[in-house]
Amino acid sequence: MFNLFLNENMKIYRRARTWMLVVLLVLTTIAFLVAQQYTVKPSQVASSDWRTNVQQQITNDQKMLDNLGTNTDRKPRLEARVKLNQYHLDHNIPPTDQTLWGNMLKASSLVMVVTVFTVIIAAESVAGEFSGGTIKMLLIRPTSRSKILLSKYLSTLVFSVLLFVILFISAFVVSGALQGFQDVGVPYVYASSDGILHESNIIQQAVSTYLYSSVQMIMIVTLAFMISTVFRSSSIAIALSLVTMFGGSSIAGFLAQYNWAKYYLFENTDLTQYLTGTPMIPGMTLGFSVTVLIVYFLVFNVLAWVVFKRRDVTA
Amino acid sequence: MWAFFQWIFMNIWYGLTLNRVKRLFQGGNDVSTPIVQVRNLTKRIGSKTIIDHLNFDVQRGEVFGFLGPNGAGKTTTIRMMVGLIGITEGDVLIEGQSISENFERAIVHVGAIVENPEMYKYLSGYQNLIHFARMVPGVTKDRIEEVIRLVALENRIHDKVRTYSLGMRQRLGVAQALLHKPSLLILDEPTNGLDPAGIRELREYLHGLTREAGISVIVSSHLLSEMELMCDRVAIIQQGKLVDVQSIKELIKEGADSQVIFEVDQMELARKLLAQEPVVDAQEKAEGLLMVLDREQIAEVNERLVQGGVKVFGIQKVTQTLEEKFLQLTGGEQIV
């Protein structure tokens, strides 16, 4: 089994294409963060010193609170922000979005790029053996088909972890280069839904943000792997799973008005909805979402396994 | 005295080692059982029967051919034998192990190239061999080097397979099939895309394998002339059914061994002389007189002709080619 895993890794990392994806990921991270840095942010233009900016924001928010009138919806949010900013000033803690960590957290949306690249590798993993005819060579060895499929799946997941780590490290280095590393140790301050302020470890916060966004990645990669196995075509697998990812998540908001949509995959992939306490559809709980995710995960994998095990190889 | 004991001891020791070596070559199994037993092998897809109750054995150390027109079911049968395609009914036993029930224990005796030897083009030849070596227990680095030398790829083994010629890919294919010292080699259409030199090289190589290493070989082909040179026995299949299993010698000899052409100077005189013989029915052909004779009669006819004053320049047996035989067996369906 370990040998099979080594084989699959050899087939991934001995290809120039794989390393092109890695380089592309680093370049995308750099481009993304540079663009973020030099895009004008309305609330922060005033000064390079964060204290001035925060003071300015407090003044603005207070003005807005005074003029709010009957519109009370926004009141709690504005009050929380004032409180938070005041805390930053009182304790001399720069707000996260003015340190390198702000950029780090924004770069977590690049997990989507990691997903796309891993989908490419996942799609090629099984379908590539069929289109190249090497599947015949692979399946006439004294090894069960299940083990071969498992080693392919595991090596794909390990590749996604590699890209994930590369994204995290390069985002950290680039953010630091742009904003300086002096604020690397600041705590993360946030207001929970009841308006109470909390301080937490910023590294823990960054890692968990990245990990939360990896839930959707694992589901999409598993989907791509399944399609690759069932259709034996890497292009179909790439196209279908990316359409599912972009299309599927964009209609999640629309579908949220229907109660049955809580069984829909993309209502459940964002687990951060339970941190803020406002789930996509009322009545959903963390346990419910995790169960739905596990069911989808098992269905994808079992389908791939059954098809792969029974397939007549005529390629 | 000591020398005598030593001599006896040495003899016993050598005897044991020899036996062990022999057993190794024979795959550790009973020599008398066929290496492959195909029993009622059937493949149905939907209501269509593609392979219909095939039964045959392959003996140890023979080159067994699989002959049939395109679409007859050769490739399907071979794919069922190596577990790439599921078996609807019946079974294939390799070294006594069922390929459908005991896949891993059966396939470990098999080295195979199914159709083209497709390797990972983006890897080097050596990495390809490492890849397949890892999938079978007990293949050492030394064995890999040995196989590379055997197929004469030492100079190019670290180049990417993408840069290989077809002949080199074929050799790399043979190398991966031999890595784990299989007792059965299965080659599906191995001569496809090879030039005549390559085919000859492969043929000599296969003969070498069966003679020296005692490996059994199953080859499929639609090229009769090739099979004639390569195989000891052939199974002829047509539309998924086994038409016949025969040794090449029998196949060529049978029913056709007595057509003889006499090349003579005076055709008319010869005919007149032979007309007196009741059993001989001579036909005039461009090359000479053609008649159907057994061994003894050839000598008699020759004697009569010479005594009658006819000069005999040559006596030639006309053997029926495998192709003619094949057409006869399959009812005239054209192949190739």
CA atoms within 13 A on the CB side of A63: 6
**For residues A81-89, average pLDDT:** 82
Residue at A302: amino acid letter? V
Following DSSP, what letter does each residue of B36-66 receive, concatenated?
EEEEEEEEEETTEEEEEEEEEEE-TT-EEEE
Q: What's the pLDDT tens digit per position in A37-58?
A: 777 555 455 556 777 878 888 8
A4/B132 CB distance under 8 A: no
What string of H, E and C letters represents the secondary structure of A109-129?
Answer: HHHHHHHHHHHHHHHHHHHHH
Q: Which of A194-203, A289-298, A306-315 has the weakest average pLDDT?
A: A194-203
Q: Answer whether residue A100 shows pLDDT above 70.
A: yes
Question: Which stretches within chain B are classed as H helix?
Answer: 2-25, 74-81, 103-107, 125-133, 141-150, 166-178, 196-208, 224-230, 248-253, 267-275, 295-307, 322-329
Confidence of residue A201 (pLDDT cuts 50, 70, 90): confident
What residues of chain B lie within 8 A of the CB of A13, using their CB? none
* Integer angstrom CA distances of residue A100 from A56, A167, A185: 21, 15, 10
* Interior/surface letters B40-50, b for 16+ CB within 10 angstroms, e for the rest: ebbbeeeeebb
Nearest to A25 by CA among A235, A168, A212: A168
Q: Answer whether residue A122 shows pLDDT above 70.
A: yes
Q: Which of A28-32, A80-84, A259-263, B56-60 has the weakest average pLDDT?
A: A80-84
B85/A15 CB distance under 8 A: no
Rounded distance between C-alpha atoms, residue B280 and residue B290, angstroms: 10
Confidence of residue A136 (pLDDT cuts 50, 70, 90): very high
Q: Cβ of B82 under 8 Å from any chain A Cβ?
A: yes
pLDDT of res. B16: 47
What residues of chain A lie within 8 A of the CB of B116, using their CB? 133
Q: Cβ of B110 under 8 Å from any chain A Cβ?
A: yes
- Tokens, residue B79: 């794919």
ipTM of the complex as predicted:
0.83
* Integer angstrom CA distances of residue B273 from B280, B295, B311: 11, 19, 13
Mind telling me how many Å the CA of B106 is from chain A's nearest CA? 8
What residues of chain B lie within 8 A of the CB of A141, using their CB? 107, 132, 135-136
A140/B107 CB distance under 8 A: yes
Residue of A nearest to B131 (CA): A7
Confidence of residue A151 (pLDDT cuts 50, 70, 90): very high
A136/B115 CB distance under 8 A: yes
Q: Cβ of A9 under 8 Å from any chain B Cβ?
A: no
Rounded distance between C-alpha atoms, residue B219 and residue B63, angstroms: 7
Which of A138, A140, A147, A309 best probes binding to B when mutated, by most B CB atoms within 10 angstroms? Answer: A140
For residues B258 and A102, the model is more confident at: A102
- Tokens, residue A269: 């992939």
Q: Answer whether residue A277 shows pLDDT above 80.
A: no
Q: Cβ of B166 under 8 Å from any chain A Cβ?
A: no
CB B83 within 8 A of CB B250: no
Which of A141, A151, A155, A310 best probes binding to B when mutated, by most B CB atoms within 10 angstroms? Answer: A141
pLDDT of res. B26: 46
What residues of chain A lie within 8 A of the CB of B118, using their CB? 132-134, 136-137
Q: What's the pLDDT tens digit per position in B219-269?
A: 888 777 777 788 889 898 888 888 888 887 776 665 445 678 888 888 888
Residue at A201: amino acid letter? N
Rounded distance between C-alpha atoms, residue A148 and residue A138, angstroms: 8
Chain A / chain B CB contacts < 8 angstroms: 74
Which of B44, B74, B134 best probes binding to A when mutated, by most A CB atoms within 10 angstroms? Answer: B134
- Tokens, residue B151: 């197929």
Q: Please give the CATH number for the structural domain made up of B258-318.
A: 3.30.70.100
Place of tokens 């050596």: B126
pLDDT of res. A79: 78
B83/A139 CB distance under 8 A: yes
A313/B85 CB distance under 8 A: yes
For residues A197 and B334, the model is more confident at: A197
CB B301 within 8 A of CB B293: yes
Mind telling me how many Å the CA of A6 is from chain B's nearest CA? 9
pLDDT of res. B55: 92
Q: Answer whether residue A94 shows pLDDT above 50.
A: yes
What residues of chain A lie within 8 A of the CB of B84, using their CB? 136, 139-140, 312-313
Residue B296 burial (CB count, 10 A): 8
pLDDT of res. B13: 52
Q: Cβ of A283 under 8 Å from any chain B Cβ?
A: no
pLDDT of res. B252: 64
What residues of chain A lie within 8 A of the CB of B119, using their CB? 134, 137
What residues of chain B lie within 8 A of the CB of A15, using their CB? 122
- How confident is the prediction along chain B (336 residues), in pLDDT tens digits per residue? 555 555 555 555 554 455 445 544 544 445 668 899 999 999 998 889 989 999 999 998 888 998 888 788 888 999 999 999 999 999 999 999 999 999 999 999 999 988 888 899 999 999 999 999 999 988 999 999 998 988 888 899 999 999 998 888 888 998 999 899 899 999 887 777 677 777 787 778 777 777 777 789 998 887 777 777 888 898 988 888 888 888 877 766 654 456 788 888 888 888 888 877 766 677 777 778 888 777 778 888 888 888 888 888 888 877 666 666 666 666 655 443
Considering only the beta carbons, identify the residue of A14, A142, A314 that sits closest to B136.
Answer: A142
